[in-house]
Amino acid sequence: MSAFPDKPNDFVAFLQKEFPSVSDPESFVPRSLYGAYLKHLWKGTILLAKEKNIVLQLNQAYLPDLSMIDCVVLATGNEIPRFPKELDLDLKSSSYYQGNPWNIDFHSISRKLPLFILGNGLTMVDTVLRLRHLGFEQKITALSSHGFQMLAHPTSKKINFNHVKPTKTDLVSLLHFFNLKRKALSMEEFLALIDSLRPNFTQWWKGFSLLEKKMFVQRLRHFWGTVRHRIPAEIEKK
């Protein structure tokens, strides 16, 4: 998670100085703290530029002529969740409803009533950890809108699948490969296999046709997210 390839422990060192309670390299760190780390680096960059008399200027330019650009990447991040259409609109302005998981009004939340979170991904984990840290001890129920359960990282360090790789990497062949492995392996072994193949994911994605990419996003993205985005076993027990 370090921002510098030649300083692999830089993020951990930042946590040990600023947030020592969560500085264990094996612990789950809320993404808000990674944001704090990036802000820290940016402030350091500004100070360093001033010390060396380097002019640092941010330019926001509008380039209407896309024919001059080889590749455009839209990195918008996670959008604020939409208001569930099944709920009464009056609830939107109620103190019982919090629509922005990154800007929660914790003071308006009861410490006695049970809490319900719609969503069962890493943002949910961040939210639960923040609630517990702030002393909310009541029951918290999380529901995936797509019916998937959060998975934990394998606890065994002895599982090794570095020698196992698919022979074909088109979407259908990969789906067949992973389906066979999931049936033949335990869940912990299957997740270890996924980890061993992570360095290949980007290359496989680049090799997909446009139709394969659309099919993946429409039908497999959420399922793939459950096996790719996981939490430490210690957090799962909580």
The mean pLDDT of 27-45, rounded to a whole number, is 88
Q: Do the bridges between strand 115-118 and strand 140-143 make them parallel or antiparallel, or are there none, so unpaired?
A: parallel
pLDDT at residue 112, rounded to an integer: 92
C-alpha 130/C-alpha 140 separation (Å) is 12
DSSP summary character for residue 220: I
- pTM equals 0.67
pLDDT at residue 190, rounded to an integer: 92
The mean pLDDT of 102-124, rounded to a whole number, is 91
Say which range, 57-61, 95-99, 205-209, has the weakest mean pLDDT: 57-61
Dump the DSSP string for 49-84: HHHTT------------GGG-S-------PPPPPPP
Percent of the chain with pLDDT over 70: 96
C-alpha 118/C-alpha 224 separation (Å) is 19
CB 195 within 8 A of CB 154: yes
The mean pLDDT of 55-60, rounded to a whole number, is 77
| Residue 219 pLDDT greater than 70, yes or no | yes
- Measured in residues, the chain has a length of 238
The mean pLDDT of 67-74, rounded to a whole number, is 78
69 — pLDDT class (breaks 50, 70, 90):
confident
pLDDT at residue 142, rounded to an integer: 92
pLDDT at residue 238, rounded to an integer: 65
Q: Which residues pair with 140 in a beta bridge?
A: 115
Say which range, 25-39, 64-78, 170-184, has the weakest mean pLDDT: 64-78
Average pLDDT across the chain, whole number: 87
CB 231 within 8 A of CB 127: no
DSSP summary character for residue 152: B
